[in-house]
Amino acid sequence: MQELLKNYPTVISQTVQWGDMDVAQHINNVVYLRYFENARIAFFNQIGFMDFIGDAGIGPILAEVTCQYKVPLTFPDTIKITARILADSFTEYGFTMQHLVFSEKLQRITTEGTSRIVCYNYKSKQKALITTELREKMNS
């Protein structure tokens, strides 16, 4: 696991919650999107990209998400959730992130996904160009 996760600048750990399971006794499909969001926000906080209420008013907005379920998660478990930017995914307005969910109990990847992010100006309500400074932070 450590070898796999070393390629991700953000890896968060969290426990699987009983209340996140559904009637089929596994984690409900929409919860995985929250897992991806938790890792994504941790990544953005690390590089200072969550200041959309600051002077510039520019921050991330989710444009699209994908999720591939490989094996069900159940309670109890502890998971590792990753976030990284796919290097070849940059456009002038955004990029795509990759996520993995790794189960400690199962010792395997249970879920993979992507999040397409657009830089958004929350003041003018329109997409914004990725600044050189932000791109440098994302690539470091």
**Distance between the two ends of the chain, CA-based, in angstroms?**
23
**Arithmetic mean of pLDDT, 97-118:** 97
Would you state the pLDDT for residue 52?
65
| pLDDT band (50, 70, 90) for residue 15 | very high
Could you name the CATH architecture of 2-139?
A: Roll (3.10)
**pTM for this prediction:** 0.92
Would you state the pLDDT for residue 133?
84
Do 32 and 101 contact (CB within 8 A), yes or no? yes
Picking from 75, 87, 66, the residue whose alpha carbon sits closest to that of residue 9 is: 87
Going 138 to 62 to 38 to 28, the CA torsion angle's sign is negative
Would you state the pLDDT for residue 4?
72
| pLDDT band (50, 70, 90) for residue 74 | very high
SS3 44: helix
